[in-house]
Amino acid sequence: MNNDKVVLDVRAFLEAWARAFNSGKPEYLVALYADDALLHGTSSSTLYIGVAEIRTYFHGTARVKFDVCHCVSLAADIVMAVGNYVFSETRHDLQVATPARFTFVLRRHDASWKILHHHSSTTPL
C-alpha cells in the first residue's frame, strides 16, 4: 500500500473517530474498535479489554479535536498513529480544555480500519 495513501486513510479514520466521539453516541465510537481491542483511556486507570468494556468507558459530553499526528506502518495492514488531541467540555459553567496525547494501533480489514489498541494520557506540563 502506498505510504502517502496510508497516512491519508489514517487521518480520515481519526477524523471519523472524532466525529463519533463528538456525537455523544458510544455505539458509533465502539463500532470503530476491533472486538478484542484494548483501551487505556485518559480519565481512567483501568485497562478496558474488548468492545463491551470499552463501551462502558465512553460517556459524557466532552468533545475532541486532533492536533498533531504521525503515522508509522508496522506491517502490511497495521499502522500506528501517535500524536496530540484536546478534549474540551463545560464544567460548572466554565470551558475546560484537557490536552492529551494518543497512540492508536489500527488494522485494515477489507476496506476499513479497526482500532486494536488505543492509549491516551494527559499531556505533561
What was the pLDDT predicted at 6?
86
Domain extent, residue 43, equals 3-122
User: What residues in the chain have per-residue pLDDT under 70?
Assistant: 1-2
What was the pLDDT predicted at 34?
98
SS3 95: strand
First to last CA, the chain: 38
What was the pLDDT predicted at 2?
58
Per-residue three-class SS string for 40-55: ECCCCCCEEEHHHHHH
CA 99 – CA 96 distance, rounded (Å):
10
CATH number at residue 27: 3.10.450.50
Domains held by the chain: number: 1
